[in-house]
Structure 1
Amino acid sequence: MKKLILSLIVTIMLVPTSVKADEGMWFLMFIERLNHRDMQKMGLQLTAQEIYSINNHSLKDAIVQFNGGCTAEMISKDGLVLTNHHCGYDAIAEMSTAEKNYLKDGYWAPDRKSEMKPSSLFVRFFVRMDDVSKRILEKVNPSMTELEREAAVNKEIAVIEKENNEGGKYTVSVRPFFQGNEYYYFVYQDYKDVRLVGTPPESLGKFGGDTDNWEWPRHTADFSMFRVYADASGNPADYSTSNVPLQPKHHLPVNLGGVKENDFAMILGYPGRTNRWMPSGGIEQNVKFAYPAWVEGSKTGMDNMKKYMNQSDALNLVYASKFAGVANYWKNRQGMIDALSKFGTAKSKAKQEEKFNKWANLPANKAKYGNVIGNINKFYGLTNEKARHDNYLQQLFRTSAFGTVGRTVGKQLENYAKADAAKRTQMAPAITEMVDEMFKELHIPAEKDILAAQLKLYATKSKGYAVAPMVEKIGKENNYDYTNYVNTLFDSSIFTSKEKVAEFLANPSEATLTADPLYVLSNDMLTHFTTRSEAITKAQNDFGSSFRLLVEGLRESKIGTIKYPDANSTLRLSYGKVRSLPADKRNDAKVNNYTTLDGQVKKYKKGDQEFDLPVRLLEMHKNKEFGRYADKDGSLHVNFLSDNDITGGNSGSPVLNGKGELIGLAFDGNIEAMAGDVIFDKKLQRTINVDIRYVLWVIENFSNAKHIVDEMTIVK
Structure 2
Amino acid sequence: MFARARRWFLSGSCMVFALSGMPSYSQADEGMYLFNDVPRELLREKYDFEPSEEWLQHLQLSSVRFNSGGSGSFVSSNGLVLTNHHVASETLAKLSTEDRNLIEDGFLAKDFDEELKAPDLELNQLISIEDVTDRINEQITAGDDAEEAAKQRRAAIATIEKESLDQTGLRSDVVTLFGGAKYHLYRYKKYTDVRLVWAPETAAAFFGGDADNFEYPRYNLDATLMRVYEDGKPAKLKHFLEWNSEPAKEGDLVFVSGHPGRTQRIFTVEALEYLRDKRLPSVLDLLRRKEILLQQYGLEGKEAARRGRDELFGIQNARKAYTGMLAGLQDPQTFVAKRGRQDRLLAELKKSNENASLADAWAEVAAIQSEKAELLDRSVSLRSELFQIALRIVLLAEEDRKPNAERLPAYTESGRESLLAQLLSPAPIYDDLEMVKLADEVALLLENRGPEDTIVQEVLAGRSPKQVASDLVTKTKVKDVEFRQSLVDGGLDAVLASDDPMLRLARVIAPEYRRIDEISEQLSEREKQAYADITQATTMIEGTGGYPDATFTLRLAFGVISGYEERGERVDPTTNFAGAFTHSKEHEGQEDFDLPESWMNAKENIALDTQLNFVCTADIIGGNSGSPVVDRDGTLVGLIFDGNIQSLTSDYLYTDVQSRAVSVSGVAIPEALRSIYQAEGLADQLGN
TM over 0.5: yes
Q: Which residue of 1 aligns with 2:31?
A: 24
Mapped partners of 1:713, 1:520: distance in 2:
52
Q: Secondary structure in 2 aligned to 1:252?
A: coil
Deviation digits for residues 657-684 of structure 1 (CA, Å, limit 9, x no counterpart)? 2221211100111222212111112322
Structure ID, larger Rg:
1
Q: TM-score scaled to structure 1, two decimals?
A: 0.79
Equivalenced residue count is: 643
| Cα distance change of structure 1 residues 616 and 154 upon mapping to structure 2, 3 Å threshold | closer
Q: Which residue of 2 aligns with 1:547?
A: 531
CA contact (8 A) 1:318 1:441 kept: no
Displacement of 1:71: 1.3
CA contact (8 A) 2:630 2:638 kept: yes
Deviation digits for residues 465-484 of structure 1 (CA, Å, limit 9, x no counterpart)? x9954437999999xx8446
Aligned residues with identical type, % of pairs: 24
Q: Which residue of 2 aligns with 1:5?
A: none
| Cα distance change of structure 1 residues 712 and 682 upon mapping to structure 2, 3 Å threshold | closer
Deviation digits for residues 318-357 of structure 1 (CA, Å, limit 9, x no counterpart)? 2333333333322222211111212543454344333333
Residues 472-487 of structure 1 aligned to structure 2 (within 5 Å): 482-483=465-466, 486-487=469-470
| Cα distance change of structure 1 residues 610 and 385 upon mapping to structure 2, 3 Å threshold | farther
Displacement of 1:686: 1.1
Mapped partners of 2:126, 2:483: distance in 1:
41
Mapped partners of 2:633, 2:151: distance in 1:
45
Mapped partners of 2:120, 2:439: distance in 1:
31
Letter in 1 for 2:541: S
Letter in 2 for 1:50: E
Residues 64-103 of structure 1 aligned to structure 2 (within 5 Å): 64-67=64-67, 69-103=69-103
Displacement of 1:76: 1.5
Letter in 2 for 1:611: F
Deviation digits for residues 575-627 of structure 1 (CA, Å, limit 9, x no counterpart)? 11011132579x9xx85212333443323667865333222312433x3x324
Q: Which residue of 2 aligns with 1:48?
A: 52
Q: Does 1:447 align with 2:434?
A: yes
CA contact (8 A) 1:581 1:684 kept: yes
Q: Secondary structure in 1 aligned to 2:297?
A: helix
Letter in 1 for 2:664: V
Q: Which residue of 1 aligns with 2:223?
A: 223
Q: TM-score scaled to structure 2, two decimals?
A: 0.82
Residues 217-616 of structure 1 aligned to structure 2 (within 5 Å): 217-230=217-230, 237=231, 240=232, 243=233, 245-346=234-335, 348-365=337-354, 368-387=357-376, 389-390=378-379, 397-398=382-383, 400-402=384-386, 404=388, 406-408=390-392, 440-444=428-432, 446-457=433-444, 459-460=446-447, 468-471=453-456, 482-483=465-466, 486-487=469-470, 494=476, 527-531=511-515, 542-558=526-542, 563-583=546-566, 591-601=571-581, 602-603=583-584, 610-616=592-598
Letter in 2 for 1:576: G
Q: Which residue of 2 aligns with 1:179?
A: 179
Q: Secondary structure in 2 aligned to 1:136?
A: helix
Q: Does 1:618 align with 2:600?
A: yes
CA contact (8 A) 1:298 1:330 kept: yes
Letter in 2 for 1:600: A
| Cα distance change of structure 1 residues 690 and 353 upon mapping to structure 2, 3 Å threshold | same
Bigger drift between 90-99 and 153-162 goes to 153-162
| Cα distance change of structure 1 residues 64 and 676 upon mapping to structure 2, 3 Å threshold | same
Displacement of 1:643: 0.8
Mapped partners of 1:432, 1:154: distance in 2:
21
Q: Which residue of 1 aligns with 2:405?
A: none
CA contact (8 A) 1:106 1:199 kept: yes
Q: Secondary structure in 2 aligned to 1:371?
A: helix
Q: Does 1:661 align with 2:642?
A: no
Q: Where does the alignment leave 5 or more consecutive residues of structure 1 unmatched?
A: 1-10, 231-236, 417-430
Mapped partners of 2:497, 2:184: distance in 1:
48
Q: Secondary structure in 1 aligned to 2:195?
A: strand
Mapped partners of 2:155, 2:86: distance in 1:
37
Mapped partners of 1:694, 1:221: distance in 2:
8
- Of residues 611, 629, 633 in structure 2, which corresponds to 1:637? 611
User: Using CA pairs below 8 Å that are at least 6 residues apart, which structure has the higher relative contact order?
Assistant: 2
Q: Where does the alignment leave 5 or more consecutive residues of structure 2 unmatched?
A: 1-21, 401-418, 488-492
Mapped partners of 1:36, 1:566: distance in 2:
20
| Cα distance change of structure 1 residues 247 and 105 upon mapping to structure 2, 3 Å threshold | same
CA contact (8 A) 1:583 1:592 kept: no
Q: Does 1:204 align with 2:197?
A: no
Q: Which residue of 2 aligns with 1:425?
A: none
CA contact (8 A) 2:47 2:253 kept: no
Mapped partners of 1:530, 1:461: distance in 2:
18
| Cα distance change of structure 1 residues 458 and 365 upon mapping to structure 2, 3 Å threshold | farther
Mapped partners of 2:311, 2:622: distance in 1:
17
Mapped partners of 2:369, 2:330: distance in 1:
18
Q: Secondary structure in 2 aligned to 1:196?
A: strand
CA contact (8 A) 2:217 2:571 kept: no
Letter in 2 for 1:578: I
Mapped partners of 1:580, 1:60: distance in 2:
28
